[in-house]
């Protein structure tokens, strides 16, 4: 009996393979039940997202057999023929399975390291498995532990803190310049799709005043209504730039709409109150040299991208710390589990030894008087405990490492024929 | 006691676990505060009458400022810059020998004078550090290649707010301290105190900060220029505080 993880992810399989083996959520319950019966598993859970399909399972068979039966299930469920998946599937056994699962939940195996969705996806998968009744005491121990590790990684490292998309990086930069975005004002210059998307992101952060300006007032009206903003004439742009905090520029103009000389005058009049200009238009609509002016920060699409790159690098740095946390937690978990099962084995061992000692006495029950029987039984029980004691102490030794303890446990199981499941 | 405080402070800036670090700083600060009170009761006036005590008090004032700014703004790197000064000052108290100032120490004006000035100096120190941190963050944002400080430091607006608030309060305390000093000198001190080098240096410092407030408030200057002036201001503070001690004159500290 062992713990096994079989699956494929964005690291091993392209999307056209991943989509072939994905489990849609509405079919998950049925799939889980089929998995359990077809693969003869005692417990199982399926995690299926757009970037991975993984089956975490616990079974009574030997490891390689469990892996084989899970693979067979994948082929039969998705009506595929071996060896179609062989190049893409990976399998992890026992402690590697634990470690892989902890890493996945902590978003260390994600395409964008540190992205927060994976944890809720794993949580959802667990809920489905609970509903289908396909998880038992082993996975019910392991899976919540992975959630704990993921939370620990999130709080003890900065893995998920920096922004890695154009929208979120704009907000991050706006915060770094302007602080709290409540009560800040923004002007949208140009009413394209991208700028309205950027506006939506910023509006979600509690920006209060919203102005839209465009050469074509009709289109600005549409956006203005959407964000309960105000349409202002394009000619008045300079006036509004005197007090807004953020300007998002995205027009189809072929020349600079904001020129250095204009902004220089404006920023002086603003008494150097910081101004954040995001230029998402290509070709650019904002003179990049405006960035040299004091208290003005101009970011074009490439600049935003370079911040994203730096942020991703930072996430990779943090991931190193996170990996150490995972290693430590895997070892903690294994220690705890092995202590627990050693405890269970120890009590079985005690009763088994007692059984052996009392075997012959029971056979001779009729030849003895009640008092004789009771006295002998008492003595033999005492002897059984004395024999069992050093074995139990050895088994429960808290300093023993989990692998060696497992070996000892296997040995005891063989010697004393304690093969029923613990 | 002071040493313990500096050790705690030292731990704070090295330690990665900020909560632990801040707790150790808190303990150090508390012990330092209670030591000041204890010493005050022991000699039955404020322990602020020689250079040694002055350094210790200055260190305490810087710690107080760090405490307030941390509670208010949660800028962790601030400690990295503020606390080493506390350490240096506390080490200074161990190695420097000095004699008490002459004149009537019974007057409460002298204590108002020294307390206000030291609080002002500590605040000006925070101001100049805030200016430097503003420069760092501004540089990161202009360069568009975020490095360590980008992630560590808070927003420009917040740093500017810190800068401005400590500048204004520091200036108010300084003005109050100078006035108290003038009153005490007129009442109880020697003739010709107006020509004392330290008095002159103080007035220069006061002038620099007046200029800084003007530029920040009326012209809206931020960033590099005000950061440089605030550093000049603090150098002038250091000169006033320590330089005048070696130049001689009527102030012993």
Q: Are B10 and B87 in contact (CB under 8 A)?
A: yes
Q: What is the structure's pLDDT at A422?
A: 45
Catalytic residue, from A1, A15, A30, A50: name it.
A50
| A184 CA: distance to closest CA in chain B (Å) | 12
Produce one character per residue of B237-246: b if its CB has 16 or more CB atoms within 10 Å, e if not. Answer: bebbbeebbe
pLDDT tens string B27-72: 777 777 777 777 777 766 666 667 777 778 888 888 888 888 888 8
Q: Which of A156, A155, A141 is nearest to A333 (CA)?
A: A141
User: Is A50 among the residues known to form the active site?
Assistant: yes
Q: What is the mean pLDDT of residues B79-83?
A: 77
Q: Which of B90, B84, B29 is nearest to B59 (CA)?
A: B90
| A305 CA: distance to closest CA in chain B (Å) | 10
Determine whether A26 is exposed, middle or buried from the number of CB atoms within 10 Å of its CB (0-12, 13-18, 19+).
exposed
Determine whether B149 is exposed, middle or buried from the number of CB atoms within 10 Å of its CB (0-12, 13-18, 19+).
middle
Produce one character per residue of A325-342: b if its CB has 16 or more CB atoms within 10 Å, e if not. Answer: bbeebbeebbeebbbebb
Q: What is the structure's pLDDT at B14?
A: 47
Instruction: Name residue, tokens 């998309």.
Output: A165
Q: List the single best residue of A157, A176, A311, A318 to mutate versus B (max B Cβ within 10 A).
A: A176
Q: Are B233 and B210 in contact (CB under 8 A)?
A: no
Residue in A162, A271, A291 closest to B220 by CB: A271
| B12 CA: distance to closest CA in chain A (Å) | 18
More confident residue, A276 or B75: A276
Beta bridge partners of A248: A188, A278
Is the pLDDT at B104 greater than 60? The verdict is no
Q: Name every chain B residue with its beta carbon within 8 A of the beta carbon of A303.
A: 144
Q: What is the mean pLDDT of residues B179-201?
A: 77
Report the run of H or E that residue A404 belongs to, with start and end: helix A402-416
Instruction: Name residue, tokens 């994203």.
Output: A308
C-alpha angle B201-B204-B208 in degrees, rounded to nearest 5:
140
Structure tokens given for B165:
């608030």
Q: Do the strands A246-249 and A230-231 form a parallel or antiparallel pair, or are they unpaired?
A: unpaired
d(CA A358, CA A354): 6
Q: What is the structure's pLDDT at A276?
A: 93
- Measured in whole angstroms, the distance separating CA B132 from the mean position of its chain's CA atoms is 15
Q: What is the CB neighbour count within 10 angstroms for residue A290?
A: 22
Q: What is the structure's pLDDT at B253?
A: 60
Q: Are B101 and B10 in contact (CB under 8 A)?
A: no
Q: Do the strands A230-231 and A209-213 form a parallel or antiparallel pair, or are they unpaired?
A: parallel
d(CA B123, CA A39): 71
Q: What is the structure's pLDDT at A330?
A: 92
Q: Are B137 and B159 in contact (CB under 8 A)?
A: yes
Q: What is the structure's pLDDT at A6?
A: 94
pTM exceeding 0.80: no
d(CA A83, CA A71): 10
Q: What is the CB neighbour count within 10 angstroms for residue B17?
A: 9
Q: What is the structure's pLDDT at B100?
A: 58
Beta bridge partners of A230: A211
Residue in B144, B158, B220 closest to A179 by CB: B158
3-state class (DSSP) for residue A376: helix
Q: What is the structure's pLDDT at B68?
A: 85
Structure tokens given for A360:
């012959």
Residue of A nearest to B154 (CA): A176
Structure tokens given for A388:
């069992």
More confident residue, B22 or A343: A343
Q: Name every chain B residue with its beta carbon within 8 A of the beta carbon of A270.
A: 220
Task: Flag residues of chain A having pLDDT under 70.
Answer: 1, 419-422
Q: What is the CB neighbour count within 10 angstroms for residue A88?
A: 18
Produce one character per residue of A7-19: b if its CB has 16 or more CB atoms within 10 Å, e if not. Answer: bbbeeebeeebbe
Q: What is the structure's pLDDT at B5?
A: 57
Per the CB < 8 Å rule, is B156 touching A274? yes
Q: Are A230 and A211 in contact (CB under 8 A)?
A: yes
* Sequence-ordered alpha helix ranges (H) in A78-157: 94-105, 117-132, 137-156
d(CA B36, CA B59): 11
């Amino acid at each position: 009996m062992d713990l096994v993880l079989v699956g494929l992810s964005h690291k091993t399989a392209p999307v056209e393979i991943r989509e072939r083996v994905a489990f849609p959520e509405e079919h998950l319950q049925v799939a889980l039940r089929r998995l359990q019966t077809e693969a003869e598993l005692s417990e199982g859970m399926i995690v299926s997202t757009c970037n991975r399909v993984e089956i975490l399972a616990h079974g009574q068979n030997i490891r390689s057999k469990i892996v084989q039966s899970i693979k067979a299930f994948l082929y039969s469920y998705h009506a595929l023929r071996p060896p179609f998946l062989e190049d893409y599937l990976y399998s992890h056994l026992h402690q590697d399975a634990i470690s892989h699962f902890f890493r996945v939940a902590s978003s260390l195996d994600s395409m964008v390291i540190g992205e927060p969705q994976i944890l809720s996806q794993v949580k959802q998968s667990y809920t489905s498995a609970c509903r289908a009744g396909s998880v038992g005491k082993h996975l019910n121990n392991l899976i919540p532990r992975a959630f704990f590790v993921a939370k620990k990684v999130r709080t003890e490292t900065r893995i998920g803190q920096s922004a890695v998309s154009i929208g979120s990086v704009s907000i991050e930069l706006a915060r770094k310049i302007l602080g709290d975005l409540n009560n800040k004002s923004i002007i949208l210059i140009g009413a394209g799709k991208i700028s309205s998307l950027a506006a939506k992101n910023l509006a979600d952060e509690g920006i209060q005043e919203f102005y839209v300006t465009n050469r074509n007032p009709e289109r600005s009206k549409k956006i203005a209504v959407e964000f309960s903003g105000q349409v202002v004439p394009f000619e008045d742009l300079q006036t509004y730039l005197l007090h807004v905090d953020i300007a998002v520029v995205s027009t189809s103009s072929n020349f600079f709409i904001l020129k250095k000389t204009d902004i220089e005058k404006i920023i002086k009049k603003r008494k150097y109150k910081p101004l954040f200009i995001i230029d998402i238009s290509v070709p650019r609509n904002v003179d990049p040299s405006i960035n040299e002016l004091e208290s003005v920060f101009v970011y074009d699409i490439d600049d935003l991208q370079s911040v994203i790159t730096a942020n991703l690098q930072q996430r990779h740095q943090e991931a190193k710390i996170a990996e150490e946390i995972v290693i430590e937690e895997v070892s903690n978990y294994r220690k705890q589990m092995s202590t627990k099962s050693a405890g269970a084995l120890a009590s079985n061992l005690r009763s088994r030894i007692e059984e052996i000692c009392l075997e012959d006495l029971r056979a001779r029950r009729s030849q003895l008087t009640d008092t004789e029987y009771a006295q002998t039984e008492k003595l033999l029980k005492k002897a059984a405990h004395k024999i069992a004691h050093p074995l139990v102490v050895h088994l429960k030794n808290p300093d023993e490492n989990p692998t060696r303890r497992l070996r000892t446990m296997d040995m005891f199981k063989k010697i004393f024929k304690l093969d029923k499941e613990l | 006691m002071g040493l313990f405080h500096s050790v705690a402070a030292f731990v704070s800036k090295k330690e990665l676990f900020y909560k632990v670090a801040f707790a150790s700083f808190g303990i150090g600060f508390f012990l330092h505060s209670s030591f000041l009170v204890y010493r005050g009761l022991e000699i039955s006036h404020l322990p602020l009458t020689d250079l040694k005590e002055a350094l210790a008090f200055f260190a305490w004032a810087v710690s107080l400022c760090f405490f307030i700014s941390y509670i208010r703004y949660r800028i962790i790197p601030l400690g990295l810059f503020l606390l080493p000064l506390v350490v240096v000052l506390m080490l200074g108290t161990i190695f420097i020998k000095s004699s008490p100032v002459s004149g009537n120490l019974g007057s409460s004006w002298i204590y108002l004078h020294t307390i206000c000035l030291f609080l002002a100096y500590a605040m000006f120190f925070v101001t100049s550090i805030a200016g430097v941190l503003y420069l760092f963050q501004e540089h990161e944002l202009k360069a568009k290649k975020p490095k360590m400080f980008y992630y560590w430091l808070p927003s420009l607006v917040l740093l500017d707010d810190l800068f401005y608030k400590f500048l204004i309060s520091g200036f108010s305390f300084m003005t109050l301290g100078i006035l108290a000093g003038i009153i005490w000198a007129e009442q109880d001190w020697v003739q010709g105190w107006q020509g004392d080098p330290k008095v002159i240096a103080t007035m220069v410092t006061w002038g620099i900060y007046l200029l800084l407030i003007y530029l920040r408030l009326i012209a809206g200057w931020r960033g590099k220029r005000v950061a440089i002036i605030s550093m000049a201001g603090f150098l002038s503070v250091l000169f006033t505080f320590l330089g005048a001690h070696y130049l001689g004159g009527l102030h012993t500290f």
